[in-house]
Structure 1
Amino acid sequence: MKVVRFRLVVVLAGLLGLAGCVHSPPVPMYQLDAGSPEVPSQKAGMSVLLGPVTVADYLQRETLLQRQVDGSLTAASDGRWAGSLAADIDQLLLRQLSWRLDSQRLVLAPGNPGFTPEVQVLLTISRLDSGPQLPAVLEAQWRLLDRAGKLRDSRLVRLQEPHTGTAADQVRAQSHLLQQLAEQLAAAVKPLEGQAAAAEEPARKPAPAAPAKAKPPQQPKIPMAAPVRTDVEVFRF
């Protein structure tokens, strides 16, 4: 009788284990898609400092959030981010900008010692999300500073991308929005190439006039003798 009970306990434990496996399937993990940016052909190119890139607090987590119709956010049950979303955003923008500017001289903030960029891109991403019934939305602001720290451009952007509703397609849509943002950034940065350095050059001073040649010292003039007639001809000086 004891043996039968033991077997029954083992069978029940096995069934409970199988039930747990059925109810806890592995959760898919996602990363942003950087597209297919090519490696820049120029070894040098324009020097750009990307960052700091500030991401909204609610995005700094592994949870894949879903925007609901009422505006609320809920955690997705069928997916999450594989690692840091902020780090993925940095790398996507870096690769996209490097390709679009055809330059390998792009560095993430805080930069490297001795690196002096022509342009610094300050970026704030205040929103990047989507939902089963809502499109993917990206809201951001960028500012461009030249080498002297002068503000050269500033812009607020709002981009939107439709999707089919699945978690995978939402991630694709969000990735595409960031690629569009990189395209707009590259278009704004490119015209500043070389302008920052030119603005730093001091105005050329006119060449100093050649010094006048020193005149040779003049000999003291000796007054001419004027004759004075008297009984004796005398010369007066």
Structure 2
Amino acid sequence: MTALRFPGILLLAGVLSLAGCVRYQQAPLYQLDSGDIRVPAAEQGIAVLLGPVAIADYLQREALLQRQADGSLTAAENASWAGSLASDIDQQLVRQLASRLNSQRLVLAPTTAGFVPQVRLGLSITRLDSGPQRPAVLEAQWRLAGADGKLLDGRLVHLEEGHNGSIVDQVRAQSLVVQQLVEQLAAAVETQSMPAPKAPAPARKHAPVKPEPPVPPRIPVVEPMRGESEVFRF
């Protein structure tokens, strides 16, 4: 009796294993979208050191997390990221910034030997998620410093983007808030890299005009007229 049931158990186990493999293979994988970008063809533009880039621990995984109505996070059952989301964010930042600044002189910290940055851009991303009934939300803080390390600018960021609830549209919305963050970073870098306007030349001080001395009144000259009698004509 046992000998007859054993092959059936093996068959059932094989069917379940195959079903599990098929289900795993059918789960779609997602990546953030870069948008309409172009890679600069030549090494030119401002030299930027991007980093350190700190990304929240819960984003450093392949699970595509869903923010629920009560604020909790659960992993999506039928979708995941194509690799670490944190690594994808790093690459998106570099590529999108290079495109917007038209510069290939972008290096992700830690810097390589011989690279001398003109500005240093530090970034901390504390939130990037969405849910079936929750918008895509990105929260971050960035700091822009000069080559000498002096702080030039910085800001706390909160960005939101709506979607229709599907996983595909959630990924689209999360991609858009990342693109909006890069727009802010690029604008800050461009503002600081512009040459300072020249101060206007001081106005020349003109010497005071001396008033002309008053012209003395002309005194008529008395001329005698010769005749029978002296008549004075003025």
Is the TM-score greater than 0.5?
yes
CA drift at 1:21: 3.7
Inter-partner Cα distance in structure 1 for 2:74 and 2:43? 45
* Cα deviation 1:50-99 (Å, max 9, x = unaligned): 11110012212222111111111112111222222111111001000000
Q: Does 1:180 align with 2:180?
A: yes
CA drift at 1:42: 4.2
Which position in structure 1 is the counterpart of 2:90? 90
Provide closer, same or farther for how the CA distance between residues 38 and 10 of structure 1 changes in structure 2, counting only shifts above 3 A. same
8 A contact 1:118–1:194 mirrored in 2: no
Which position in structure 2 is the counterpart of 1:135? 135
Which position in structure 1 is the counterpart of 2:7? 10
Inter-partner Cα distance in structure 2 for 1:38 and 1:119? 22
Read off the aligned partner of 1:80 and give its amino acid letter: S
Which position in structure 2 is the counterpart of 1:165? 165
Which position in structure 1 is the counterpart of 2:102? 102
Indicate the larger mover: 21-30 or 47-56.
21-30
CA drift at 1:11: 4.5
Unaligned runs of 5+ in 2: 197-234
* Identity %, equivalent residues: 59
Q: Does 1:120 align with 2:125?
A: no
Number of paired residues? 194
Read off the aligned partner of 1:72 and give its amino acid letter: S
Inter-partner Cα distance in structure 1 for 2:194 and 2:104? 16
The TM-score, its normalising length taken from structure 2, stands at 0.75
Q: Does 1:78 align with 2:75?
A: no
Unaligned runs of 5+ in 1: 197-237
Which position in structure 2 is the counterpart of 1:35? 35
8 A contact 1:78–1:167 mirrored in 2: no
Read off the aligned partner of 1:117 and give its amino acid letter: P
CA drift at 1:145: 0.3
